[in-house]
Amino acid sequence: MAAVPPDDRKRVFRFAVYEADLASGELRKSGVRIRLHEQAFQVLTALLERPGEIVTREELSQKLWPADTFVDFDHGLNTVINKLREALGDSASNPRFIETLARRGYRFVAPVELTPSPGAAALSSTQQSSPARSPSASILTTADEVPRVQRRYLSVLFLLIQFMYLSFYISALARFRQLDSIVEQAFPHPAWIINLTLISALVGLPIRLYLISAVIFGIKNFSQKFRKIFLMIFVLDEIWSLAPLLLAPQIGIGLALAATAALVYVPFSQRSLLLMGERSGEM
C-alpha cells in the first residue's frame, strides 16, 4: 500500500462527529480523544485514505505486520477491526462506517472530509482553548464511558422523563389560580415566581413535545441534536426542580427537599441515556 504523502500527514480526516489526526495519531469524538491502539488507527487511516473503495485484507495485513512476522494474520486483523468498530460505536451487522466484504476486505462507507491539521505543536493549546474541549467536556460523561444498552430500554426511560415534565407543565397551567394562591402564601414577593413558572411552562411544552416525537419517530443523530440544546434544557429543568418547594406546606420540607434533589439530577440522566444509545449506535 502506498505511503501517505508528507502533506497528508499534516491533515485531519473528519467523518460524522469523529476526526482522525494523522499528525498526532489521535482519534477524537466531538473534540474528545478516544483511546485507540496504534494498529487500529493504522487500519482506520488506510480506510479513510480510500473512502468508498475496497481495501483488501492482504493490504491491511501488509500494513500492520512486516513480511517476516509470524502471526495469525486473519485472527489478528479481525481483532484489530473489532477494536476499531468498538471505538467508533459501529457494528458489522449494521455498519455506519466500516463495511465488511466477505473474504475480500473492508470499505469505509461514511462521507469523509480532509482538512488541514493545526499541527502537533498547536494541538495541545487547541485542546485547552477550543470550545469542543470546554470544561464541561471533561466534567460531563462521554459516550465511551457509558455501557451499551438496547434502544427500547433507553427510549422507555427517556420518554417517561419527558412525560413527567409534560405533566408538571400541564398541571401548573391547569391549576394556575391555585398555584398563584400557594405562592402568595409562601413568598413575600410572588410575582416573579408566578411569571417564571408561566414562561418556563410555555417554553417547556414545545420542547418536551419535540423530544417525545424525536424518540418515537427515531430522528437520526438525535443524541447529537440533544447535546446542542442541552444547556437550555438544563436551565429549564433546574428551574422546575424547585417545584416541590412550593408544596412544602402540604408535604413537609424534608420530602420537598428530597424531591428537589432528585429532580436536580434528572437533566444529567437524560443526557446519559442518550449517550448510551449513541455508544450502541442506536440514537
The per-residue DSSP string of 44-100 comes to: HHHHHHSTTSEEEHHHHHHHHS-TT--S-HHHHHHHHHHHHHHHHT--SSS-SSEEE
The pLDDT tens digits of the residues spanning 203-247 come to 999 999 999 999 999 888 888 889 889 999 999 999 999 888 777
Count structural domains, the chain: 2
Shared domain check, 247 and 219: yes
**Lowest pLDDT segment from 25-29, 33-37, 130-134:** 130-134
Residue 136 counted as domain residue: no
Shared domain check, 244 and 166: yes
Mean pLDDT of the chain: 82
Shared domain check, 42 and 94: yes
Cell triple for residue 9?
A: 500527514
Which CATH number does the domain housing residue 31 bear?
Answer: 1.10.10.10
Give residue 123's pLDDT: 41
Give residue 143's pLDDT: 67
User: What separation, in Å, do the N-terminal and C-terminal C-alpha atoms of the chain show?
Assistant: 36
d(CA 182, CA 85): 55
The pLDDT tens digits of the residues spanning 92-138 come to 999 999 999 988 999 999 999 988 655 444 444 444 444 444 444 44
- Cα 108 to chain centroid distance, Å, stands at 22
Shared domain check, 223 and 274: yes
> Which of 105, 130, 155 finishes a domain?
130
Residue 138 counted as domain residue: no
Shared domain check, 259 and 160: yes
Cell triple for residue 2?
A: 502506498
> Which of 102, 130, 158 finishes a domain?
130
Give residue 235's pLDDT: 94
Domain that holds residue 100: 8-130
pLDDT band at 31 (very low <50, low <70, confident <90, very high): confident
pLDDT band at 6 (very low <50, low <70, confident <90, very high): very low
The pLDDT tens digits of the residues spanning 244-283 come to 877 777 788 899 899 999 999 999 999 999 888 876 666 6
Shared domain check, 89 and 59: yes
Q: What is the mean pLDDT of residues 163-186?
A: 82
> Which of 84, 101, 130 finishes a domain?
130
